[in-house]
Amino acid sequence: MLERLARWHYEKTQELAENLAATLEPVMMLVIGLIIGTLVIAMYLPIFQMGDAMGGGG
């Protein structure tokens, strides 16, 4: 009886962990993408501003 109950709890825990991982994976990809995008913009923005200051912003 206790072994069956332990197996049921183990299976439910594994199912919950898999569902949580499947849900968090796209969210983490989005967060990482936003961080990388922010870094790219932060690196290129000064270059564009310098070009505008030098008169080549046409």
| Residue 53 pLDDT grade (very low, low, confident, very high; cuts 50, 70, 90) | confident
Tokens at residue 48, please?
A: 């564009």
Q: Which amino acid is at 22?
A: A
Q: Residue 5 pLDDT > 90, yes or no?
A: yes
Task: Please report, for residues 21, 43, 58, the alpha-carbon distance to residue 49 in angstroms, rounded to integers and kept in the order given.
Answer: 42, 11, 12
Mean pLDDT of the region 24-34: 96
Mean pLDDT of the region 7-18: 96
Mean pLDDT of the region 25-36: 97
| Residue 58 pLDDT grade (very low, low, confident, very high; cuts 50, 70, 90) | low
d(CA 35, CA 47): 19
44 close to 38: Cβ distance less than 8 angstroms: no
